[in-house]
Amino acid sequence: MYKRILPVLVAAILIGLTANASQTRKVLFIGIDGTRSDALQQANTPNLDAMFAAQGLSYDAWCAGITISGPTWSSMLTGVWFDKHGITNNSYGGSNFNQYPYFTTLAKQVKPDLYCAEVCEWPPLIDDVYNDNFNLRLHTPDGQGATTCSVASTVLANDSIDFMFVYFDQVDLAGHSSGFSPTNPAYMTAIENVDSSVGVVMNALHNRTNYANEDWLVIVMTDHGGTGNGHGGNSDAERHIWWIANGNDLQHVTPSGADPGSYNSLIVGIFTPASVDTVKLRQTPVHTDVAVTALHHLLFDTGNNPTDNPLWSLDGKSWLATAAGIQSVEDKIQLKVFPNPASDYVAIYFTNNEKQNVTATLFDMQGRQVQSSNQIITTSKMNMSLKGLPAGQYQLSLKVGSDVVSKSLIIQ
């Protein structure tokens, strides 16, 4: 069965490389307010788990801004920190959305016909934002995830949707009423309820009539955690968050998870860049990365890299595998084969700093597996016997952990 499926897989990969270019690039951003990383990891969340297993990225992300909803959602949707977008609390006073708008406005400077929609439970996030260029803004009742996912599913059935933001507030409300803690059953139940709502939204996404011809990037993130019955401070419980992303061209590099520190130091509202380690900030998913990654995905086929645009002056970074300055899988693995052309054997060289499981597989040009070696390896070289194989061109595929790279190999 393996050998029958494999040529289809190889063909699918080859077709995929060309078909991707013609697929319409779209983004779904799901926001879950007030969800601690430790609580999310312990809750029973099959829908988020499935997304996490499929792609990643990290249960170790950090709120590097103010641990309050207004400033954090603004950073996620504008791609800049609060010194630029101006929002330091939930009144949305001092906002600077004309100079630093939602990324949807920036996207439409390049692709004016993009259709952008939001379904949101928390009124300030709709009512107090301007210059976001959403085509459709729908309020749903606060904390009513079942209604929100149902409305969002209806909107997602619309073929013309290019960006969709869906926001759930139930977890934060549970935290405020009875405690932000993995030991609070009401808080954990709220997380599990929202996970079910996420499942409904994802079903609606997969059921889109044109889904096969679309290239969706899905990002799920929270704004902050909490401690006791609130948040707004700099404790780990408030700052330790997570991010989940799912898409065809996200980088597979595991983020370091190192805490970069917080801009929200000493006095809330005073911007103190010195308190943040900018190297760690680049290695960890943070709020401003949401807008930049989403924008990069939407505009990728136009050649626009959002971080290169001086007029936009964005603070976040892109987590697409193709983003400048981010290591590709090829760069990470550094696969080399020697000799090539080969005859009796080939030596395979690679980088395996994390000492992961390594599998080398050789395919012929019909996509049939003709040879395979599999080992847990602590070195950076393995040999493969080629004895008895006919002369010709082959494809050597190397899997290191979850990363896969390949190279063509000639046998003489």
Q: Which residues bind Zn ion (CB under 5 A)?
A: 34, 172
Which residues are within 8 A (CB) of 100 and not within 5 positions of it... i.e. 6 or more apart? 78, 80, 84, 85, 86, 313
What is the C-alpha separation between 28 and 167, in angstroms, rounded? 11
Supply the minimum distance, in Å, between the C-beta of residue 69 and Zn ion.
6
Measured from each CB, the residue nearest to Zn ion is 172
Residue type (1 letter), 111: K
Nearer to Zn ion, 221 or 396 (CB): 221
Q: How far is the CB of 119 from Zn ion (least distance, A)?
A: 19
Phi, psi of 89 (to 5 degrees): -155, -175
CB of 73 to Zn ion, least distance (A): 11
The span from the first CA to the last CA of the chain, in angstroms, equals: 30
Q: Give the integer Cα–Cα distance in Å for 104 and 115.
A: 9
Enter the DSSP assignment of 292: H
Q: Smallest distance, Å, CB 52 to Zn ion?
A: 24
In the complex, the smallest distance separating the C-beta of residue 234 from Zn ion, rounded to whole angstroms, is: 16
Please identify, using beta-carbon distances, which residue of 81 and 180 lies nearer to Zn ion: 180
**Euclidean distance between CA atoms 94 and 116, whole angstroms:** 25
Give the three-class secondary structure for 79: coil
Nearer to Zn ion, 172 or 215 (CB): 172
Angle at the Cα of 291 from the Cα atoms of 298 and 243, rounded to 5 degrees: 110
Backbone phi and psi for residue 344, each to the nearest 5 degrees, phi listed first: -85, -30
Positions of E strands within 274-402: 336-338, 345-349, 357-364, 369-376, 381-385, 392-400
Q: How far is the CB of 260 from Zn ion (least distance, A)?
A: 22
| CB nearer to Zn ion: pick between 173 and 291 | 173
Q: Which residues contact 368 (CB under 8 A, 6 or more apart)?
A: 3, 6, 7
* Pick 140 or 318: Cβ nearer Zn ion: 140
CB of 338 to Zn ion, least distance (A): 58
Q: Of 56 and 145, which CB lies nearer to Zn ion in the complex structure?
A: 145
Closer Cβ to Zn ion, 231 or 317, answer by number: 231
The residue among 262 and 352 lying less far from Zn ion, judged by its C-beta, is 262
**Whose CA is closest to 32, among 136, 120, 163, 101?**
120
Q: Output the smallest distance, CB 175 to Zn ion, in A.
A: 7
